[in-house]
Amino acid sequence: MKAFIVAALALVAAADRPQPSYRPRPAYSAPTYATPTYTAQPSYKPIAILEEENIHPGDGSYNFHFSTENGIYRSESGVPLPGYGKNAYGQPEGSYRQEGSWSYTDGYGNPIKVTFVADDNGYQPSSDILPTPVPTQYPTPAVGPTYVEPQPAYVEPQPAYVEPQSSYGKPAYQPAYN
């Protein structure tokens, strides 16, 4: 019986609890979205490799080239320079001399070709599409006969120096002693 009374009091207490009235229910409906439409992406056709050759004779030199059906061509050959090999730690040391070229047709239909050499002096490409460097030495302009030597800047005249005086007159206040 006691359990029944306790349960009844708990239900009365829970039902008597005031509900918050400061939060009204929203008067709008949930937004609706249109079903997205997807456009098919253009399918890309793989580009066929028309020719490919890799030659590694075993002496450290190599030669390769390939060309594709869309007009891309790449070739390169390289030979190790004297001193190339592995050091005592098994790490490669020394360098190669590589030369080659690559070419393609740009989006405007113009053929583009770049040739290069890479050696101890770095990578040195050569092509009509590369910007040319600005000349580093310019001729010194000649000075005409009407050149006038610059004059010194204007200097404000200073007053003459005045020697300080030993006394400046009677002081304004002198105390009187009785």
Fill in the DSSP letter of residue 94.
Answer: S
Provide the token pair at 118. 């890479």
The pLDDT tens digits for 37-48 are 777 777 778 899
Distance CA 134, CA 64 (A): 35
User: Mind listing the pLDDT tens digit for each residue in 114-155?
Assistant: 999 998 888 999 998 888 877 667 777 776 677 677 777 777
Residue 121 structure tokens: 């002096």
pLDDT tier for residue 171 given thresholds of 50, 70 and 90: low
Do 122 and 107 touch, CB atoms closer than 8 A?
A: no
pLDDT digits (tens, 9 = 90+) for 5-24: 877 777 766 666 666 666 66
CA trace torsion 169, 171, 175, 177 (10° rounding): -10
pLDDT digits (tens, 9 = 90+) for 84-125: 777 778 777 778 899 999 999 988 999 999 999 998 888 999
Residue 35 has pLDDT above 90, yes or no: no
Side by side, the strands of the sheet bearing 111-119 are: 49-55, 62-68, 73-80, 96-105, 111-119, 122-126
Higher-confidence residue of 73 and 61: namely 73
